[in-house]
Amino acid sequence: MHTLEPILAEHPFLKGLRQEHLELLVGCASNVRFEAGAFVFRQGQEANHFYILRDGKVAVELFAPQRGAVAIDTYGEGDVLGWSWLIPPYHWRFDARAIEPTRAISLDARCMRTKCENDHDLGYELMKRFARIIEQRLDATRWQLLDVYGVRS
Amino acid sequence: MLPDLYKVQHVRRETDDTITFELGLAAGRQPFRFSAGQFNMLYVRGIGEVPISISGDPGSPETLVHTTRAVGAVTRAMRTLKVGDMLGVRGPFGVGWPVEQAVGHDVLVVAGGIGLAPLRPTVYQLLANRDRYGKVVILYGTRTPADILFRKEVEAWRARLDIEVYVTVDRATEGWRGNVGVVTKLIPRAPFDRTRTMAMICGPEIMMRFTALELERRGVETDHIYLSMERNMKCGIGLCGHCQCGATFICKDGPVFRYDAIRGLLSQREI
Amino acid sequence: MNDATTERRERITIEPAALQQLIDALQADGYRVLGPVVGNGAIVYDDLASTDQLPAGKTDQQLPGSYRLVPDESGAWFGYTVAPQSWKRHCYPPVTRLWRAERKGTGFALVAETDASPPMAFIGVRACDIAAMQLQDRVLLQGPHADPVYRHRRQRAFVVAVNCGEAGGTCFCASMGTGPQVTSGFDIALTEVADDGRHYFVAETGSDRGAAVLGGVTSRPATVEDIGTADAIVARAATHMGRAVTTDGLQERLARNVEHPRWDRVAQRCLTCANCTMVCPTCFCTTVDDQTDLSGAHASRLRTWDSCFNLDFSYIHGGSVRPSPYARYRQWLTHKFSTWVDQFGTFGCVGCGRCITWCPVGIDVTEEVRAFSGESPAEPVVASV
């Protein structure tokens, strides 16, 4: 879809991608919308997409017995949601639920994996970008775990 | 030096362990002039003295406002303060936030936990002179929704059309529909111009370190980032030696420091 | 304060008996006279009324972790090096009450303490100790918040310096540029000559009030021989220092070596007992102690000496910033030989050697400092013992 290409090209996650790679991605892309409260994906489901968020807010949740759904992270405009599609067995390990009406571009996972297998340059470019995201998330999670605002007694 | 005696005029419970109280001179009325970011040494009779940042409005010096969290003997005693109780006050001490130097820049205020208290005077000044600054963005991270300080005020700031306010919590509770995650996650979304921004960061040292690093990664110059440091203080005036951090005395060379001056200190252990 | 002059004022010679006249004159002027006397197995600074109390026939033998009083046959009255504690305790007392807070209705009233101590005269102040006082002056008197107790006592303190005739086993004032010759900061300076049956003092004044007091004791103009002998004694002491430190580049070297294996080594030995800070004439850290009586009506705030070696020295909510001995020893040593320069423009050490003598495990700061003078941080140079 030609209208998605400029949107993808501008997205921080895909910045710097070569034109031909961008066109490959567009081939897997579609526009999606989630109402507030709707699940984007559920724990255990096959990870068939990843999402580039355009606006709104999505909470990544873990359902814990006796605690219910606990939101451990939220993502919004400019963020990328989901990397379980990259790593076998390609199953979501968390829930993701839109807290506000959210627009995103969803990229079909199988389509993406096939294209990456066929074009390793594209695969490498995406891996580099995901590695950076995972690094940032891990850093953030680590100091989130430290409970820095808590009082030590 | 002898403290001045002040009486508690008003107490508000902010959260479970944090209160804000307003003080007036016990004898007479005199404005308490201070710069945003400065602190007082507050004395509770017979228990002790602690350094507490001033959390009120420099533009309203008739009332002296402090926000304290119960973390030790003195601050726990403060949690039971009532209207009419007396405190000793020595101050104001220290180097404050660069509110003047920030004129003409975008201003990014990043607060973590109780770090919002020493930054609140700055926010008041930014709002009182709004047209002297570019974009004003406030990022506030705290532990849980119940720990959000100055809630009504933060909501009022958020409602304004001329500043951006983003709030996040480390840990969501039932019913929270706001952001979850560390405060640095809010930075990519914050609409400031990295080439002309002054950033002021206050919170636990780890939070300030990560935030300053993130800003640096995003192209904010290290001489445009300011942090407020904290150490044990007994005198507040550079004579007892306790607040030393490297070659600096936090009480008189700080507590506000320019990031490039202390960047090395932040990554040294037990310094 | 004592006015320092760099040109030598006219020197005179006084006989030992004149020293008693000096003490009497100072007492008559209302000074509490303090000087070296033998006490607790050491030569300590205490109340002095008579020259009979001076430690004639005794000297101190100071080595790392060791202090011994041994016989001295020279007959000198000031034939020792330095007392365990410096004069610091008199101008900057170990315990001071700052104020009292008396309950009054629902509030309280503050009652300031006024310093009622008499002016003090210090007899036998060494060059290193004068240098230490001048360092403390910078810390405690400069800036917007001078310490009132220190200022009150220091301004009135009368300093009778005595040049060193012997360098001690742990002394390194020559390296630090603080001695053994006194050059300023005194009201009266003496050099004792005691040998070959001779015993006299070559004296000079360093201030108007010094001149007034010295003018009242029996004296004669110093001969060329008197002065030559006196100067030679001090010059000899300068070349017989027990220890040495290279100060060139030392500030930067320590600043660059915040992490260094040497800190591990010294931390294994250091007991964090804080002796060094207690005997150090320049250490100035204090803490406060709030006390109430049982009724709760009377509260007072005391200021007491503290030490960066104490675990809770750096305590902020949740824990100490410097819990390990590694970090605490590093803090002290780098403050003395590095960050003090950033803060006050000079080193914080005057080379008196007390910390070396009084360390129970004999840690030698000159050796520790020398260990950092390897070319790269990974190669500490260990001094041979």
What mean pLDDT comes out for the span B119-133? 98
Identify from B17, B75, B143, B185 which residue to disrupt to test chain A contact, counting A C-beta atoms within 10 A and taking the largest count.
B185
Torsion of CA B93, B99, B101, B102, to 10 degrees: 150
Which CATH fold topology does A4-144 show? Answer: Jelly Rolls (2.60.120)
pLDDT at C378 over 80: no
Strands C66-71 and B248-249: unpaired
Q: How far apart are CA C296 and CA C120, in angstroms?
A: 36
Q: Which of B49, B84, B239 sits opposite C106 (nearest CB)?
A: B84
Average pLDDT over residues B98-115: 97
Report chain B residues whose CB lies below 8 A from the CB of A77: 189
Q: Which residues pair with C13 in a beta bridge?
A: C202, C220
Distance of CA C29 to the CA centre of its chain: 25
CB burial of C208-242 (b: ≥16 within 10 Å; e: otherwise) equals: eebbebbeebebeebeeebbebbeebbeebeeebb
pLDDT for the residue numbered C4:
46
Can you tell me the distance from the alpha carbon of B65 to that of B22, in angstroms, rounded to the nearest whole number?
Answer: 4
For residue B145, how many C-alpha atoms fall within 13 Å in the half-sphere facing its CB? 11
Using CB atoms, pick whichever of C301, C316, C323 lies closest to residue B270: C323
Residue with tokens 């590695």: A131
Which residues in chain C are contacts of B247 at CB distance < 8 A? 338-339, 342-343
Q: What is the rounded distance in angstroms from the CA atom of residue C369 to the CA atom of residue C383?
A: 10
Q: How far is Cα B61 from Cα B30, in angstroms, rounded to an integer?
A: 8
For B7-23, how does the pLDDT look when each residue is reduced to its tens digit (9 = 90+)? 999 999 999 999 999 99
For C203: left if phi > 0, alpha if psi spans -120 to 50, otherwise beta; the answer is beta
Neighbours of chain C (3+ CB pairs under 8 A): A, B
Other CB atoms within 10 A of residue C83 CB: 24
**What's the confidence (pLDDT) of residue C375?**
41
User: Chain C contacts of B47, Cβ < 8 Å?
Assistant: 290
Q: Per DSSP, which regions of C176-250 are E strands?
A: 188-195, 198-205, 220-221
The backbone region for C242, taken as left when phi is positive above 0, alpha when psi lies in -120 to 50, beta otherwise, is: alpha
Question: Which string of DSSP letters, residue by residue, matches B203-250?
Answer: SSHHHHHHHHHHHHHTT--GGGEEEE-----SSSSSSS-TTEETTEEH
pLDDT (tens digit per residue) in B153-207? 999 999 999 999 999 999 999 889 999 999 999 998 899 999 999 999 999 999 9
What is the SS3 assignment for A43? coil
From chain A, the residues in CB contact with B112 under 8 A are 148-149
Nearest CA in chain B to A136: B185
Query: Scanning every residue of chain C, which has its alpha carbon at the shortest distance from the alpha carbon of B73?
Result: C317
Domain coordinates of chain C in residue numbers? 12-239, 250-370
C367 phi-psi bin (left φ>0, alpha ψ -120 to 50, beta other) = alpha
pLDDT at C8: 60
Per-residue pLDDT at C320:
94
* pTM, to two decimals: 0.90
Q: What is the mean pLDDT of chain B?
A: 96
Angle of helix C261-269 relative to helix C325-334, nearest 10 degrees? 110
The residue length of chain A stands at 153
Give the residue from chain C lying closest to B76, CA to CA. C317
**C301 close to B249: Cβ distance less than 8 angstroms:** no
pLDDT in tens, C112-162: 999 999 999 999 999 999 999 999 999 999 988 999 999 999 999 999 999
- List the helix and strand counts (H, then E) for chain B: 6, 15
- Which residue in C has a C-alpha nearest to residue B204's C-alpha? C317
Would you say residue C288 has pLDDT above 80?
Answer: yes
Cβ within 8 Å, pair B239-C313: no
Please name each of the domains of chain B with its CATH number.
4-93 (2.40.30.10), 106-228 (3.40.50.80)
Q: Would you list the domain boundaries of chain A?
A: 4-144
Establish how many alpha carbons lie within 13 A of residue A99's alpha carbon, considering only the half-sphere containing its beta carbon.
21
- C304 contacts C95 by C-beta, under 8 angstroms: yes
User: Residue C376 pLDDT > 80, yes or no?
Assistant: no
Residue C112: both structure tokens together: 């300031």
Q: Which are the contacts of C197, defined by CB distance < 8 A and separation ≥ 6? A: none
Cα C69 to Cα C80: distance, rounded to the nearest angstrom = 9
Q: Chain B: give the shortest CA distance to residue A129, in Å.
A: 16
Q: Are C7 and C95 in contact (CB under 8 A)?
A: no
Contacts of C78 (CB under 8 A, 6+ apart): C36, C54, C124, C162, C165, C190, C192
Q: Residue C177 corresponds to which tokens in the numbers above?
A: 């540029």
- Give the 3-state DSSP-derived string for C339-359, with helices as H, strands as E and coil as C: HHHHHHCCCCCCCCCHHHHHC
Confidence of residue B65 (pLDDT cuts 50, 70, 90): very high
Query: How do beta strands B106-112 and B136-142 pair?
Result: parallel
Q: What is the longest distance spanned by two Cα atoms in chain B?
A: 52
- pLDDT tier at A2 (50, 70, 90 boundaries)? low
Q: A121 to chain B, minimum CA–CA distance in Å? A: 26
Question: What's the gap between Cα C233 and its chain centre?
Answer: 22
Q: How far is CA B102 from CA A78, B160, B195, C3, in A?
A: 28, 21, 13, 47
Across the range C29-52, mean pLDDT stands at 96
Q: Are C23 and C123 in contact (CB under 8 A)?
A: yes
- Distance in angstroms (rounded) separating the CA atoms of residues C20 and C51: 6
Strands lying side by side in the sheet with B164-169: B179-180, B164-169, B136-142, B106-112, B197-202, B225-228, B256-258
Asked if B177 reaches chain A (Cβ–Cβ under 8 Å), the answer is: yes
Residue pLDDT, tens place only, A59-86: 999 887 777 888 999 999 989 998 888 8
Residue A8, token pair as written in the block: 């993808």
Residue C385 has pLDDT above 90, yes or no: no
Q: Decide if C176 contacts C126 (C-beta within 8 A).
A: no
Interface residue of B239, B245, B262 to substitute, partner C, most C CBs within 10 Å: B239
Q: In chain A, whose CA is at the least distance from the CA of C319?
A: A152
Rounded distance between C-alpha atoms, residue A74 and residue A96, angstroms: 9
| Residue among A12, A72, A147 minimizing CB distance to B180 | A72
Give A56's pLDDT tier (boundaries 50, 70, 90).
very high
